[in-house]
Amino acid sequence: MKTLTISLSPQQIARLHDAVESGAYASNSEVIRDALRLWEQREEVRLMEMGRLKKAYDEGMASGTGREVDAKTLLAELKAEARSRG
């Protein structure tokens, strides 16, 4: 493995040392590797969410011209749709 020098705040260092001293992690490196794994997972989820949002946006744009509707009309339409579904 390659060695990397990083800078951490005093609070981050204390939490890192606490994690190792408590036995939750075997070493400082293990804490950092776990943190990076969690970051990678969060980034994957973010990219998937962005993809879903882009798809929803594209579908909305492809669905045609929008229309203006006031809240009262929208509520009535939603209630009618719910009644028709049973």
Residue keyed to tokens 């009644």: 83
> Is residue 1 one of the residues assigned to a domain?
no
d(CA 75, CA 71): 6
> Is residue 21 one of the residues assigned to a domain?
yes
| Burial of 20 per CB tally in 10 Å (0-12, 13-18, 19+) | middle
d(CA 8, CA 19): 15
Instruction: Give how many domains the chain has, as a whole number.
Output: 1
Q: What is the pTM of this model?
A: 0.66
Token code pair at residue 21: 């001293």
> Is residue 35 one of the residues assigned to a domain?
yes
Residue-wise pLDDT tens digits, 39-78: 999 999 999 999 999 999 999 999 999 889 999 999 999 9
Range of the domain at 27: 10-85
> Is residue 3 one of the residues assigned to a domain?
no
